[in-house]
Every structure is written in C-alpha cells, then in structure tokens.
Amino acid sequence: MIELSAEEIAAVTGGRLTGTADPEATIGSVVTDSRQVRADAMFVAKPGEFADGHSFIGTAFDAGAVLALAERAVRDASGAEYPSVIVDDAVLAMGAVAAEVIRRLRAAGELTVIGITGSAGKTTTKDLLSAVLSNAAPTVAPVNSYNGEVGVPLTVFEAGFSTRYLIIEMGATGIGHIDYLARMVAPDIGVVLGVGSAHAGEFGSIENIARAKGELVETLGADGIAVLNADDARVAAMGDRTAARVLSFSSGRQDTELQETGLVIGSHLETTREGHPAFDVTFPDGSGGHVVSGLLGTHHVVNLLAAATAAFAAGLDGTGIVSGLSGQSAGSRWRMERTERADGVTVINDAYNANPESMRAALRTLAELGRGRRTWAVLGEMLELGDESVEQHDAVGRDVVRLNISRLLAVGNGARAIHNAAVLEGSWGDEAAYAADVDEAEHVLRTELQPGDLVLFKSSNGAALRLLGDRIASTQDRVEETGEGTATGPAKGPAKGPAKGKEEGQPHS
C-alpha cells in the first residue's frame, strides 16, 4: 500500500482524529483482522454479522497498530482513547480511502484497473487474468473471493506505485452495489461474464440481476473498454448501456464471422482425456493460437475467453495471452479442485459456490470424466434462490439421473428436493440417498466409496460441503493433488473477519 498519514486519512474520510492520534503517523497497511496487524497498520473496526471490530481495537494496538478507523472512540485500561479516526461508517470510510489510493496511483504513473463481475466464474477469471498479466508487468488481484464493500478496498490497498494492472472482482447482493464499487475504483476495463439465477432470491428476478451486473459497464467512460459475453443475450445487450468501446467474446460463432470487429472467437473446442478444455482463440487483429487449459470442464471456456479478451483489451499481444493461459488452473481453492488418492478414488471439490447453471456444468463434467467409472454426486443446497429454490433443486436431481451419474448423495434439508426428484425420475435402491448433515454424509462415503470411484462435491459455501470434500480427499491414502488448489491438508476457512452483512470470504453474486 502507498503510505498515507493519519491526518490525510481523516481528511479523505471526513473523520475526526482523537486527541491521542499523531496526525503525522504513517499508515503503510490496512487490515480488518487484528491477527493480521503489522507495525504500520491501520485497523478498521467495522461492525460485522458475528462480531464488532471495536472489541478488537485493543488487540490490534497490542500487535503494533498505529491507528484505528472506527465509528466510536475506544479507551484502553488507563482510560486513554486509542489513536483513531472516528467516522460515521467504517466500511464507507474504507471505500473513500481506497478511492484516494486509486487517484494517487493514477497521478503517479500508468495504471490499468480491470473490474470483473458476473453470476459465476468471477474468481476463476480473475485468477486466470492475473496469471497472464503478471507475465507482463506487476499485477495485483484479490485474494480468495474478495469482491464486496470490504474486499475491494482491501485489494486496492495491496497496490503500490509499481503496480501496472489492478484486477478487481465485483459481487453484489442488490441493485447499486456494483455501481458503488465501480465508482470507488473507476475501472478502465469492465468484464461481464454472464447473468444467471444465482441469488435470485435477493435480487427478486433475473432481470434485476442483469440490471445490477450492467452497472459496471455504465460507469465506464468513453475511453474505457467493456468486455462482454456475446453468447449471453442479457450481457450482450449491455453494450447499449455503456459509453465505452465494446470488445466481445464468443465460443458460439462460426469461423465465417471471425472478421467481425471487436470479437474474440473460441473455436474447435474439444476436451482432453483428463477433462481439460482445449480450443483455438482468434483475436480481432488476427493473432491467436491453441489453448490447452489446466481447468476441468468445458464450462470454463467462458472464463478463459473472458480472461483472454480482458488481457487483449489491456494491450497484451495474442501470442503472449495464449502462452499465459495454456496450462493455467485457478489459483483459488474449491473450484473443480481435483485430488487423486492412492486407493484410486478421485475427488473433485467444487463446493465453494453453487447456482443452477454451475451445478449443471459440474455434473456434466462429472459425467464426461466418469465414463467407465462409478461416479458420485455429493450435492448440497444452492442458497439464495428465493421462490424458485424447490423447483431449481428438483431440476438438479433430475439432471443427475439423466446424466447417468451412478450415485447421488444429497446432503442437508435444503437439498432434500434433489433427492426426491432423482427418485421420481427413476433412481432406485441405493442409487439416490439422503444424508441429514455432513457427518452422516461422511459416514456414508467412508463406508461405501470404492477404489476407482469419482466423487464430486458441489454446494453453496454455506452448506460446508467443501470441508467434507477436504476430509474425504485428505485421508492417509492421498498421494497427489492435480487441477486447482495447492493445499496439502484440510483447508481452513478464510482468515479475514466478517464483512458487513456476510463474511468477506463468502462470495457475492
């Protein structure tokens, strides 16, 4: 992070310095977790769903913090106020500081800010794009799925004067959220991946989701570039909502349309024996090449093309983009993370997030990879689907049967409709089972998994199947991990503290 003084932070946020604060104190980092405090840190005492950050101000100063950004003054054991900037809203104040950091970085040198949103694939796309851009110049991207009103400022604070590319992942739980984030960071390039039914319960309708995602391109100026998915009609229509130049990507167009201006084409798609998508990519200037991805499943072609198009918009040449994408897998955990156990069981853990579209994509990949093997679909609830929840879970259960998945294990009351639908669709005997919770599901799997089985874990984050997947993958028999993720044991949840309304490690739509 670039250095700011306590006085400058007070001025930017409209806050009040407590009498104990040194106006010239230098802030070199910002944290929301007292366990991450460094000697030059400002601790943001934000209120959260599970804890109030003001309760940890003392701990932060004991660890070396020099300033707190707080909504009320807190006193130490002697009765003295901790050095603080007092503001009305600590989270909004974080955003104001982040906007000032962006302004100073732009004034000091060349900086390209790239915003990414969409109902699915944001984190995988930002990981891919980060890997490509990092080959060209210093790049900063979010950790995990930091995409909300706390995570975006924390990402900005990681940038310095040497940063050339700053990637911002943007999620939302309502209208206006992405507009707020986009105005904070003022992106030069805005990427919209797709509009799906994830979080339809919060937004009210898929049309409102499209409206929210389009807020990103609406904030772009005439000198910006909107990167849009031409294969998603709702996203393609966002071209009419932006003053920026539009650069689209597609895997559905024919070769005869390659000359269309501003279109990046993915063609000749195939899947390797290991389940990795491979395709040709052609950029508007005629450059391109053949990409063989390290990701699992053809549904990732959207993410790969989006990353390729964003990198092209940022000025990279086609040859370098193809080279950078080839072999790359996502850098964040629980995204089609594949583990090979010594007993021949293969575990695919894709349980960080789930919606009807990503659930179907994961099941199709399971069916494709499982030819000649016994396949398991261990499925939990897809959260925040609103009135369509039962219908959407019912459809997933029927898809399991129609894809000839060998075994279904639905976990948790919210996933009961998946099990019921599979039975009604024709599953019988032990082909479809229901477990009331993850402990019961774990017992079933440890009892019934056989060498050579292929098992997929898929659910929304809150269903905790990603942790069950870790336990099943992390037996003493495990010898190798491939695909996405690099941990060598059961993973812990994100260490960051809770954001306003939800844990910051939890993805917004």
pLDDT tens sequence across 318-352: 999 999 999 877 666 777 888 999 889 999 998 88
Tell whether 465 and 361 lie within a shared domain: yes
Dihedral sign for Cα 379, 384, 387, 392, please.
negative
Q: Is residue 507 part of a domain?
A: no
pTM of the model: 0.79
Whole-number CA gyration radius for the chain = 23
* Other CB atoms within 10 Å distance of the CB of residue 7: 15
The answer to whether position 101 is within a domain reads no
* CA–CA separation, 406 and 374 (whole Å): 6
CA atoms within 13 A on the CB side of 229: 31
**How many other CB atoms are there within 10 angstroms of residue 16's CB atom?**
13
* Cα torsion 152, 155, 159, 165: sign: negative
Orientation of helix 318-325 relative to helix 122-134, angle to 10°: 120
User: How far is residue 83's CA from residue 359's CA, in Å, rounded to a whole number?
Assistant: 49
Q: Of the residues 325, 352, 367, which one is the last residue of a structural domain? A: 325
Does residue 298 form part of some domain?
yes
Say if residue 276 is in the same domain as residue 343.
Answer: no
Q: What is the 3-state secondary structure (H, E, C) of 113-165?
A: EEEEECCCCHHHHHHHHHHHHHCCCCEECCCCCCCCCCHHHHHHCCCCCCCCE
Q: Which residues are within 8 A (CB) of 166 and not within 5 positions of it... i.e. 6 or more apart?
A: 102, 105, 111, 112, 113, 114, 139, 140, 141, 155, 156, 159, 185
> 3-state SS string over 315-332?
CCCHHHHHHHHCCCCCCC
Which of 88, 118, 141 terminates a domain? The answer is 88
pLDDT by residue (tens digit) across 167-181?
999 998 889 999 999
Most confident of the following: 81-90, 143-152, 203-212, 426-435: 81-90
Query: Which is it for strands 263-271 and 277-282: parallel, antiparallel or unpaired?
Result: antiparallel
**Shared domain check, 469 and 366:** yes
Q: How confident is the model at residue 507 (pLDDT cuts 50, 70, 90)?
A: very low
Tell me, yes or no, whether 318 and 370 share the same domain.
Answer: no
193 and 56 housed in the same domain: no
Do 180 and 59 have their domain in common?
A: no
* The pLDDT of residue 275 is above 90: no
Q: How far apart are CA 160 and CA 140, in angstroms?
A: 9
Burial 175-196 (b: 16+ CB within 10 A, else e): eebbbbbbebbbbbbbbbbbbb
Alpha-carbon span 22 to 28, nearest angstrom: 15
- The pLDDT assigned to 50 comes to 80
E strand or H helix at 205, and its extent? none
- How far apart CA 463 and CA 418 sit, in angstroms, is 14
User: pLDDT-derived band of residue 29, with 50, 70 and 90 as boundaries?
Assistant: very high
Q: Which of 55, 88, 121 corresponds to the end of one domain?
A: 88
Which residue, chain included where needed, has tokens 């609103």?
A: 386
The answer to whether the CB of 310 falls within 8 A of the CB of 287 is: no
Q: How many Å apart are CA 32 and CA 30, to the nearest integer?
A: 7
Residue 258 inside a domain? The answer is yes
Rounded Cα distance between 44 and 64, Å, is 14
Q: How far apart are CA 214 and CA 241, in angstroms?
A: 7
CA distances to 44, 60, 190, 496 from 36, rounded to whole Å, are 12, 9, 31, 9
Q: Are residues 391 and 451 in the same domain?
A: yes
Mean pLDDT of 230-250: 95
Instruction: Please tell me the total count of domains within the chain.
Output: 3
Q: What are phi and psi of 29, to 5 degrees?
A: -160, 155
Per the domain annotation, does 226 fall within a domain? yes
SS3 assignment, position 340:
strand
CA distance linking residue 332 with residue 4, whole number of Å: 31
Q: Rounded to an integer, what distance in angstroms lies between the CA atom of residue 227 and that of residue 245?
A: 9
pLDDT interval class at 34 (50, 70, 90): very high
CB 110 within 8 A of CB 22: no
Tell me, yes or no, whether 392 and 433 share the same domain.
yes
Instruction: Name residue 346's beta-bridge partners.
Output: 340, 454
495 lies in some domain: no
Contact 34, 68 (CB under 8 A): no
pLDDT at res. 51? 86
Q: What is the structure's pLDDT at 353?
A: 80
pLDDT band at 200 (very low <50, low <70, confident <90, very high): low
56 and 113 within one domain: no
Domain range enclosing 382: 337-483
CATH of the domain at 52: 3.40.1390.10
In a domain, 104, yes or no: no
Percent of the chain with pLDDT over 70: 89
Secondary structure of residue 185 in the 3-state scheme:
helix
Rounded to a whole number, what is the distance in angstroms from the first to the last CA of the chain?
Answer: 27
Specify whether 368 is located in the same domain as 471: yes
Indicate if 134 and 278 belong to the same structural domain. Answer: yes
**What's the CATH code of the domain at 422?**
3.90.190.20
Tell me if 500 is assigned to some domain.
no
| Across 247-270, average pLDDT | 77
Same domain assignment for residues 39 and 155: no
CA distances from 110 to 144, 152, 161, 324 (A): 26, 20, 9, 22
Mean pLDDT of the chain: 88
Angle at the Cα of 413 from the Cα atoms of 411 and 415, rounded to 5 degrees: 55
